[in-house]
A = this chain, B = another copy of it.
Amino acid sequence: MSDKNQKPIILTGDRTTGPLHIGHYAGSLRNRVALQEGHEQYLLLADLQALTDNSGDIAKVRESVLEVALDYLAVGIDPEKSTICLQSHLPALSELALLYLNFVTVARLERNPTIKDEIATLGFARNVPAGFLCYPASQAADITAFRATLVPVGADQAPIIEQTNEIVRRINAACGMDVLPEATPLIPKSGRLPGIDGKAKMSKSLGNAIRLSASTDDVRSAVRHMFTDPGHLRASDPGQVEGNVVFTYLDAFDEDQSAVEDLKRRYRDGGLADAKVKDRLFEVLETLLEPIRRRRKEYAADRAQVIEMIRQGTARAREVTDQTRADVMSRIGLFRLDK
């Protein structure tokens, strides 16, 4: 099953529900750019998972496929190093997901903390789509189909990996051998980036996000409206750094962290205007986003090339995932028609 010369396999990706923002960059995209060196990394454009709570807006799910792919390429994901693939075109993922549903109880899915929180957040109550309740089995299928052993996730998604490993152990027990590897979550040190309003997480739907494709004017406007310290009325007043989004973003994106520490000290002491700190953040974000924006435009000018890149990645992913499906189905003891 394992090849000592093989690089560790990573599965990651995004639900295709809209273009990505700098929160995604801080939390995952820049890690992926680093991880594609030395790992075999698959990036799943998760359009089917997007459907689990967006079956009423399939156009958004469809149109976001290319947007997310463009964001990947723009931040430096290299299709020669990472495999970008489209979930709905990998039938083995659905086959494995449906199989795994027989190895997990409804009660266990309902107890999953991630699912419980998300059902509450989305306000589904009793009207939760069955696909949504079942998506941990679907994610287990995604992860195991690629035989991924490393899965970068936010801390709030760690229970999904636990559930995946429970399913892996049950499938391996049913197979009488370790057909599937268990996975380890890769949880980033930095927490989730807050929105520009300082509220919870950055999210397109909350209108508090800065897209990776944001124009210079968009970035300027976002920084201008950014939540700071409401008690810091005059530049001469001592200001608070904690919960001040401008500083949170400087922590996340400024490459000169000693300069940031210096700014924090001066802000706390009093005498540093919000405008000054915001000017620095604007420069930092522009330095980050300008090349991303430029590359995104270049790729967006040749959509056919991007589609061809997804097509090739998906074909590569299909080979891997079909093989895992065939291994599981035959080893688990189902009847096989293959000659």
Interface, chain A (partner B; CB < 8 A): 16, 47-48, 51-52, 55, 58-59, 61-62, 65-66, 86, 88-89, 91-92, 94-95, 97-99, 101-107, 109, 126-134, 137-138, 174, 307, 310-311, 314, 329, 332-335, 337
Q: CB-CB < 8 A to A94: which residues of B?
A: 91, 94-95, 97-98
**Is B58 a contact partner of A332 (Cβ separation < 8 A)?**
yes
**Is A106 a contact partner of B133 (Cβ separation < 8 A)?**
yes
Q: CB-CB < 8 A to A310: which residues of B?
A: 337
**Is A334 a contact partner of B131 (Cβ separation < 8 A)?**
no
User: A334-B61, A334-B62, A335-B62 in contact; A101/B130 too (CB < 8 A)?
Assistant: yes
Number of identical monomers bound together in the oligomeric complex: 2
Shortest Cβ distance from A324 into chain B, in angstroms? 13
**Chain B residue at smallest Cβ distance from A103:** B55
Q: CB-CB < 8 A to A65: which residues of B?
A: 335
What are 25 A-B contacts defined by CB distance under 8 Å?
Answer: A16-B335, A47-B335, A48-B98, A51-B102, A52-B102, A55-B102, A55-B103, A59-B333, A62-B335, A86-B337, A88-B335, A91-B92, A91-B95, A94-B98, A98-B98, A98-B138, A102-B129, A104-B129, A105-B127, A105-B128, A106-B133, A107-B128, A130-B134, A310-B337, A314-B337
Q: CB-CB < 8 A to A337: which residues of B?
A: 86, 89, 307, 310-311, 314
Shortest Cβ distance from A101 into chain B, in angstroms? 4
Besides the known contacts A91-B94, A94-B94, A106-B133, 19 further A-B residue pairs in the complex with CB atoms under 8 A apart:
A47-B335, A51-B102, A51-B334, A52-B102, A55-B103, A62-B335, A66-B335, A91-B95, A94-B95, A95-B95, A97-B98, A98-B98, A101-B129, A105-B129, A105-B130, A106-B129, A134-B134, A310-B337, A314-B337
User: A97-B94, A98-B98, A337-B307 in contact; A129/B103 too (CB < 8 A)?
Assistant: yes
Q: CB-CB < 8 A to A138: which residues of B?
A: 98
| Cβ-neighbour of A88 out of B130, B132, B334 (below 8 A) | B334
